[in-house]
Structure 1
Amino acid sequence: MKGANIYVIGAVCHDSSHCSRGRALVLCRRCLKCFPSLSTDAACKNRPLDLIFIIDSSRSVRPEEFEKVKIFLSKMIDTLDVGEGTTRVAVMNYASTVKIEFPLRTYFDKASMKEAVSHIEPLSAGTMTGLAIQTAIDEVFTEEMGTRPATFNIPKVVIVVTDGRPQDQVQDVAEKARTAGIEIYAIGVDRADMQSLRIMASEPLDKHVFYVETYGVIEKLTSQFRDTFCAVNVCALGAHDCEQICVSNSGSYLCDCYEGYALNPDKRTCSAVDTCAPGRHDCDQICMRNNGSYVCDCYEGYTLNSDRKTCSPMDMCAPGRHDCAQVCLNNDGSYSCDCYEGYTLNADKKTCSAVDMCEPGRHDCEQVCVRDDLSYTCDCYQGYTLNPDKKTCSSKSRLLFCIPPYPPQLSTCIEVES
Structure 2
Amino acid sequence: MRSALWSLLYGAALLLCDATATYHLSPGDPRLLAAQSYAQNRNNGRPPLRTLDPRKTDAQCRSRPLDLVFIIDSSRSVRPGEFEKVKIFLGDMVDTLDVGSDATRVAVVNYASTVKIEFLLKDHFSQLDMKKAISRIEPLAAGTMTGLAIKTAMNEAFTEQSGARPRSRNISKVAIIVTDGRPQDQVEEVSAEARASGVEIYAVGVDRADMRSLQQMASIPLEDHVFYVETYGVIEKLTSKFRETLCGVDPCAMGHDCQHICVNSNASFYCKCRNGYILNADKKTCSLKQVKVEVVEDPCKCEARLAFQKQTQAALQQLTAKHILSVVSAGRIERLENMVGRA
TM-score using structure 1 length = 0.47
SS of aligned partner of 1:183: strand
Paired residue total? 210
**Contact 2:97 2:247 survives alignment (8 Å):** no
Q: In structure 2, what residue type is equivalent to 1:60? A: S
Name the counterpart of 1:74: 91
Does structure 1 conserve the Cα–Cα contact (< 8 Å) formed by 2:99 and 2:127?
Answer: yes
Partner of 2:182: 165
Structure 1 unmatched ranges of 5 or more: 1-40, 241-245, 255-418
For 1:84 and 1:72, the matched residues in 2 are separated by 22
Match for 1:210 among 216, 227, 232? 227
Among 98, 103, 109, the alignment partner of 1:86 is 103
Alignment of 1:19-418 (within 5 A): 45-233=62-250, 250-251=266-267
Q: Judging changes above 3 Å, is the alpha-carbon distance between structure 1 residues 253 and 84 closer, same or farther for their aligned structure 2 residues? A: farther
Shift of 1:251: 3.0
CA-atom RMSD in angstroms? 2.6
Q: Name whichever structure is richer in helix by fraction.
A: 2
Specify whether residues 110 and 253 from structure 1 end up closer, same or farther in structure 2 by C-alpha distance, changes over 3 A only.
Answer: farther
Measured after TM superposition, the shift of residue 236 of structure 1 is 8.4
Distance of aligned partners of 1:128 and 1:226 in 2 relative to their CA distance in 1, 3 Å threshold: same
Question: Which structure has the greater CA radius of gyration?
Answer: 1
How many Å separate the matches in 1 of 2:251 and 2:227? 30
1:54 alignment partner AA: I
CA distance in 2, matches of 1:225, 1:206: 13
1:263-322 per-residue CA deviation (whole Å, 9 max, x = no partner) reads xxxxxxxxxxxxxxxxxxxxxxxxxxxxxxxxxxxxxxxxxxxxxxxxxxxxxxxxxxxx
Report if the CA contact (8 A) 2:200-2:219 is conserved: yes
Deviations 1:20-68 (A, max 9, x none): xxxxxxxxxxxxxxxxxxxxx89x7211110000000000000000000
Calculate the TM-score normalised by the size of structure 2: 0.57
* Residue 379 (structure 1) aligns with: none
Is contact 1:231–1:251 with CA below 8 Å preserved after alignment? yes
- Residues 48 and 250, structure 1, Cα contact 8 Å, conserved in 2: no
Counterpart CA distance in 2 for 1:218 and 1:46 is 21
* In 2: Cα distance, 1:247 partner to 1:164 partner: 44
Alpha-carbon shift at residue 247 of structure 1 (Å): 9.6
The aligned counterpart of 2:324 is none
Q: 1:234: how far off?
A: 6.7
Flag the 1:236–1:133 CA change in 2: closer, same or farther, 3 A: same
SS in 1 for 2:134: helix
SS in 2 for 1:72: helix
Instruction: Provide the identity percentage.
Output: 67
Contact 1:47–1:248 under 8 Å retained in 2: no
Q: What corresponds to 1:372 in structure 2?
A: none
Local SS of the residue matching 2:107:
strand
In the aligned structure 2, how far is the partner of 1:108 from the partner of 1:153? 19
Instruction: Give the superposition deviation at 1:124.
Output: 1.9
Q: Which has the higher strand share?
A: 1
What is the SS of the residue equivalent to 1:232? coil
Q: Is the Cα contact below 8 Å between 1:103 and 1:140 reproduced in 2?
A: yes
Name the amino acid aligned to 1:171. E
2:193 alignment partner AA: K
Q: Which amino acid aligns with 2:148?
A: L
Aligned counterparts of 1:93 and 1:247: Cα–Cα separation in 2: 39
CA contact 1:104–1:147 (8 Å) conserved in 2: yes
After superposition, what is the alpha-carbon deviation per residue over 1:143-189, rounded to whole angstroms, capped at 9, x for unaligned? Answer: 01000011110111000000000000001001101110111000000
C-alpha displacement of 1:250: 2.1
Cα drift, residue 230 of structure 1: 2.2
Q: Could you tell me how far apart the structure 1 residues matched to 2:225 and 2:192 are?
A: 15
- Which amino acid is 1:51 matched to? L
C-alpha change, 1:117 and 1:253, in structure 2 (3 Å) is farther
Kindly indicate whether structure 1 or structure 2 has the higher relative contact order, using CA contacts under 8 Å at least 6 residues apart.
2
State whether residues 94 and 129 of structure 1, in contact with CA within 8 Å, keep that contact through their aligned partners in structure 2.
yes
The alpha-carbon deviation at position 229 of structure 1 amounts to: 1.1
